[in-house]
Amino acid sequence: MKYIIVTGGVMSGLGKGITAASIGRLLKNKGFRVTAIKIDPYLNCDAGTMNPFQHGEVYILKDGGEVDLDLGHYERFMNVEFEKDHNITTGKIYRAVIEKERRGEYLGSTVQIIPHITNEIKDTIRKVAEKSGAEICIVEVGGTVGDIESMPFLEAVRQMHRENPDDCIFIHVTLVPTDSMGDQKTKPSQHSVKELREVGIHPDIIVVRSKDRLNPSARDKLALFCDVPLAAVISAYDAKEIYEVPLILEEEGISDYLLDRFKLTSEVDDTRWNDMVAKMRSLDKRVRIAVVGKYTEIEDAYLSIKEALKHAGVDAGCLVDINWVEAEELETMDDLDEVFGDVGGILVPGGFGIRGSEGKIKAIEYARENRIPFLGLCFGFQLAVVEFARNVLGLEGASSAEITDTPFPVIEILPEQRDIENMGGTMRLGNSEITVLKGTRAYEIYGEEQIVERHRHRYEVNPAYITAIEDKGMIFSGKNGNRMEIVEIPSHPFFIGTQFHPEFKSKPDNPAPVFRAFVRAVRGDD
Ligand code: GLN
């Protein structure tokens, strides 16, 4: 197994995840079996209990893993499906070591960070990599070099290199800022490489983030001071579009350099990604969609939705512009024309809790009454049912049991969720089968009766209200037993809600069917 270990310096948010994902894609293009692992040095066992305001969206894997959003980048770029053990956190590692200690597996020893924690990290990385059946494993160490939290992980990967020097390559991602005179400044990168060396890691490749392409003198300096060959200084200048990053890295010769170092050769050259990017670049028609959420200040909170809309746009031949609408602000507005007057579609994403929920319901009412294409995902699906119950069935005060006490709980807690006490990892999570009803729009969209989609919820449509709702013209066209999974209003130009999250399966060259249909409906002439 070959390991490519990606670390980051200078500051967070440089796009290490996209760099790692892009390298994965390039190696896949060359015919290698590649896998990836994301290390998050926080103490949470997984990302499921974290607020999107802090860490962006919680990404859901097929096995129900609630993981860091970088796994989403990996899946989209590399076109694979990962499992939850591909996201390693400090919490998971410590939990495993403490459980072993209690079982008596270290009897007689003082259990310590080195070697017990570091061994656990190495064993976990190796086990996950081997199990995947890949030839090359990319390991992204989250955080910035110098953080206390990431120290044990850096020590573990240092040891991995020491044990198999020919099989480990270190890539350090840094920043070269441009000053007001337009000069590219290399000092922060020099310092961060120095910090990396202090923990015993010598980078093999420096991937440099900067506004513009690195100029020759900055390149020379970086090569000299970071002690790498000139060819190992890779200029990853700002791309207009994240899917262009593999092309930029390739232009800089990164995959040849990597293969050379690993003494690997390849005759394969898959160009489908380049074709997809070329198609993306050629789009000129634009459509506008409003996304009504409550974490709209940070777009990363809805990252997979943003990407899925983009993918569907490539398919529909248009660029999708997003208006981020703060749901809470709609609650005090009388006239929503101002907000939705210029959009071709309204999307209400997943969410939790009361804040902003009435605003989302107002947005749904607006979409339904004005016959604007609508897509509701998870909480958005549930609130579409609430809106219909209130305004079409006339059930005043109908709501979700999650939001408030209500005489008409059209959305109720899942029976198996009633007695759950632990919040971590206990929702209905991951893949479930859905049966799509023939003769419905959902069937038109999927073209098959059995589909599999990813879930993350505790509440569902209350079966007691299904007949009354369907009698009034809202139908449930996808089900898992008596669990409602897809809702639609056949008399509306496009009104669909899904209890699941189709956005997590969308790929740039293979958009999620529901998103594809939604964006096509927004674009019109279909
Ligand atoms: N809060 C809702 C539930 O738990 C919806 C969850 C979501 O949108 N992911 O069922």
Cα radius of gyration (the chain): 25
What's the number of domains the chain is made of?
2
Who wins on pLDDT, 344 or 146? 344
pLDDT at 526: 57
Q: What is the mean pLDDT of residues 35-58?
A: 88
Q: Is the CB of 350 under 6 A from ligand 1?
A: yes
- Domain end residue (candidates: 276, 301, 325): 276
For the CA of 350, the nearest atom of ligand 1 = 8
pLDDT-based confidence at 493, cuts 50/70/90?
Answer: very high
Mutate to test the pocket of ligand 1, among 364, 378, 427 (most ligand atoms within 8 A of CB): 378
Q: What is the mean pLDDT of the chain?
A: 94
pLDDT at 472: 97
Who wins on pLDDT, 192 or 415? 192
- In order of 322, 372, 508, the CA distances from 287 in angstroms are 9, 13, 18
The pair of three-digit structure tokens given for residue 108, joined into one six-digit string? 């007689």
If asked whether residues 290 and 379 sit together in one domain, one would say: yes
508 in Cβ contact with 495 (< 8 Å): no
If asked whether residues 330 and 232 sit together in one domain, one would say: no
Task: Give the closest residue to 194 by CA, choosing from 146, 149, 155.
Answer: 146
Q: Is the CB of 352 under 6 A from ligand 1?
A: yes
- Sort 66 into a burial class: Cβ within 10 Å, 0-12 / 13-18 / 19+: buried
pLDDT of 378 strictly over 90: yes
pLDDT at 48: 83
Q: Is the CB of 203 under 6 A from ligand 1?
A: no
β-pairing, 345-348 vs 286-293, is parallel
Cα(299)–Cα(289) distance, rounded to whole angstroms?
Answer: 14
pLDDT, tens digit, 9 for 90 and up, residues 316-341: 999 999 999 999 999 999 899 999 99
If asked whether residues 422 and 517 sit together in one domain, one would say: yes
Tell me, yes or no, if 378 is annotated catalytic: yes
- Which protein residue has the closest C-alpha to ligand 1 atom 8? 350
Q: What is the mean pLDDT of residues 1-12?
A: 92
CA of 114 relative to ligand 1 center, distance in Å: 41
- Which protein residue has the closest C-alpha to ligand 1 atom 9? 350
Selecting among 73, 86, 172, 501, the annotated active-site residue is 501
Q: 229-242 in b/e burial notation, b at 16+ Cβ within 10 A?
A: eeebbbbbeebeeb
Tell me, yes or no, if 55 is annotated catalytic: no
The pair of three-digit structure tokens given for residue 300, joined into one six-digit string? 């990363």
pTM of the model: 0.94
If asked whether residues 303 and 252 sit together in one domain, one would say: no
Residue 112: strand, helix, or coil: coil
CA of 352 relative to ligand 1 center, distance in Å: 5
CATH of residue 453: 3.40.50.880
Tell me, yes or no, if 503 is annotated catalytic: yes
The pair of three-digit structure tokens given for residue 387, joined into one six-digit string? 């809106």
pLDDT of 432 strictly over 60: yes
If asked whether residues 317 and 262 sit together in one domain, one would say: no
- Domain end residue (candidates: 276, 296, 315): 276
What residues make up the domain containing 95?
A: 2-276
CATH of residue 94: 3.40.50.300
For the CA of 352, the nearest atom of ligand 1 = 1
Q: Is the CB of 295 under 6 A from ligand 1?
A: no
If asked whether residues 340 and 366 sit together in one domain, one would say: yes
Selecting among 168, 226, 318, 378, the annotated active-site residue is 378
DSSP structural state of residue 298? S
β-pairing, 483-488 vs 345-348, is unpaired
pLDDT at 10: 80
Q: Is the CB of 25 under 6 A from ligand 1?
A: no
Mutate to test the pocket of ligand 1, among 352, 357, 429, 483 (most ligand atoms within 8 A of CB): 352
Q: What is the mean pLDDT of residues 390-405?
A: 95
pLDDT of 88 strictly over 60: yes
Q: What is the DSSP string of 328-377?
A: HHHTT-S-THHHHTT-SEEEE----SSTTHHHHHHHHHHHHHTT--EEEE
pLDDT, tens digit, 9 for 90 and up, residues 198-256: 999 999 999 999 999 999 999 999 999 999 999 999 999 999 999 999 999 999 999 99
If asked whether residues 373 and 264 sit together in one domain, one would say: no
The pair of three-digit structure tokens given for residue 203, joined into one six-digit string? 């980078």
If asked whether residues 244 and 106 sit together in one domain, one would say: yes
- Domain end residue (candidates: 276, 299, 331): 276
If asked whether residues 243 and 262 sit together in one domain, one would say: yes
Selecting among 195, 365, 460, 503, the annotated active-site residue is 503
If asked whether residues 310 and 355 sit together in one domain, one would say: yes
Return the amino acid letter for 333. M
Mutate to test the pocket of ligand 1, among 377, 410, 414, 458 (most ligand atoms within 8 A of CB): 458
pLDDT, tens digit, 9 for 90 and up, residues 443-477: 999 999 999 999 999 999 999 999 999 999 999 99
pLDDT of 268 strictly over 80: yes
Percent of the chain with pLDDT over 70: 100
If asked whether residues 269 and 311 sit together in one domain, one would say: no
If asked whether residues 202 and 305 sit together in one domain, one would say: no
Q: What is the mean pLDDT of residues 107-129?
A: 96
Q: What is the DSSP string of 428-466?
A: EEEEEEEEEPTTSHHHHHH-SSEEEEEEEESEEE-GGGH
